[in-house]
Amino acid sequence: MPSDAPTDATTDVPAEAAEFDFRQLLEIEQRQLQSELSELGFGEKGGLDYDPNFADSSQVTAERGEAEALAGQLKESLDEIDQALARLENGTYGRCEVCGVAIQPARLEAMPASRFCIDHANRS
């Protein structure tokens, strides 16, 4: 892949979502979430890998509850990324699930897994 683009290349390329590599963006985020999950002790299988011998300490129980709450959020984000990757596959990526308009590229770059346009983002 040539890294030095020709100087006479046109610079007014359309600002379409396809131009941005959302798949790569989603995969990077996916890997990041997965590593955060495994740091919390939640592996690929989704179970918490902890030693039941420590479970009778209330502090550990509290920490475990926090870890589970955080892991739940991470898993939700992972689910959304999975769905976004599936939408990339079937060609519906980047469209609002409510009204079907194309989501602004800037919004997708900030939140590649977003499923709604800015108008519908806050009504789920």
Q: Which of 97, 90, 87 is nearest to 117 (CA)?
A: 97
Cβ nearer to Zn ion, comparing 75 with 120: 120
Cβ nearer to Zn ion, comparing 85 with 96: 96
Shortest Å, Cβ 103 to Zn ion: 8
Cβ nearer to Zn ion, comparing 70 with 111: 111
Shortest Å, Cβ 90 to Zn ion: 19
Name the site residues for Zn ion (rule: CB under 5 A): 96, 98-99, 117, 119-120
Cβ nearer to Zn ion, comparing 28 with 99: 99
Distance CA 117, CA 103 (A): 5
**How far, CA to CA in Å, does 36 sit from each of 10, 17, 75, 78, 82?**
41, 28, 10, 11, 16
Q: How many CB atoms lie within 10 A of CB 81?
A: 22
